[in-house]
Amino acid sequence: MPRDPRYDILFEPVKIGPVTTKNRFYQVPHCNGMGRLHPDSMVAMRGMKAEGGWGIVSTEQCDFHPTADTTSYCETKLWDDTDIPYLAGMCNEVHKHGGLAAVELVHNGHDTGNLYSREVPIGPMDRPVTWLNHPVQARAMDREDIRAYRRWHRDAALRARKAGFDIVVVYAGHDGTMPSHFLARRHNQRTDEYGGSLENRVRLYRELLEDTLDAVGDTMGVVARFAVDEMMGPDGLEWEGEGRDAIEMMAEIPHMWDVNVADWDNDSMTSRFAPEGYQEEYVAFVKQVTSKPVSTVGRYTSPDAMVSAIKRGIVDLIGAARPSIADPFLPKKVEEGRIEDIRECIGCNICAAWNNVSAPSRCTQNPTFGEEWRKSWHPEQIAPKEFRIACAGGRCRAGRS
Question: Active site includes 214?
Answer: no
Residue 376 Cα to chain centre, angstroms: 25
**DSSP calls for 60-96:** EEEE-SGGG--TTS--EE-SSGGGHHHHHHHHHHHHH
Choice among 26, 171, 194, 205 that is catalytic: 171
Choice among 174, 181, 187, 255 that is catalytic: 174
Q: Are strands 19-21 and 56-63 parallel, antiparallel or unpaired?
A: unpaired
CA distance 376 to 342: 21
Q: Are strands 56-63 and 25-27 parallel, antiparallel or unpaired?
A: parallel
Task: Please return the burial class of 223, using the count of CB atoms within 10 Å of its CB with bins 0-12, 13-18 and 19+.
Answer: buried
Helix (H, G, I), strand (E, B) or coil at 147: helix
End-to-end CA distance of the chain: 34
Neighbour-count burial for 290-311, b at 16+ CB within 10 Å, e otherwise: bebbbbbbbbbbbbebbbebbe
**DSSP calls for 25-49:** EEE-----S-TTTSHHHHHHHHHHH
Query: Of how many residues is the chain composed?
Result: 401
Helix (H, G, I), strand (E, B) or coil at 363: coil
Q: Give the CA distances from residue 358 to residues 26, 86, 265, in Å, rounded to whole numbers and listed in that order.
A: 25, 19, 18
Backbone angles phi, psi at 317, to 5 degrees: -125, 150
Q: CB 132: neighbour CB atoms within 10 A?
A: 12
CA distance 344 to 99: 22
Helix (H, G, I), strand (E, B) or coil at 113: coil
Name beta bridge partners: 244: none
CA distance 21 to 204: 29
Choice among 267, 316, 351, 363 that is catalytic: 267
Question: Active site includes 300?
Answer: no
Question: Active site includes 351?
Answer: no
Q: Give the CA distances from residue 183 to residues 170, 173, 197, 227, 228, in Å, rounded to whole numbers and listed in that order.
A: 14, 10, 10, 11, 11
Question: Active site includes 26?
Answer: no
Active site residues: 31, 171, 174, 267
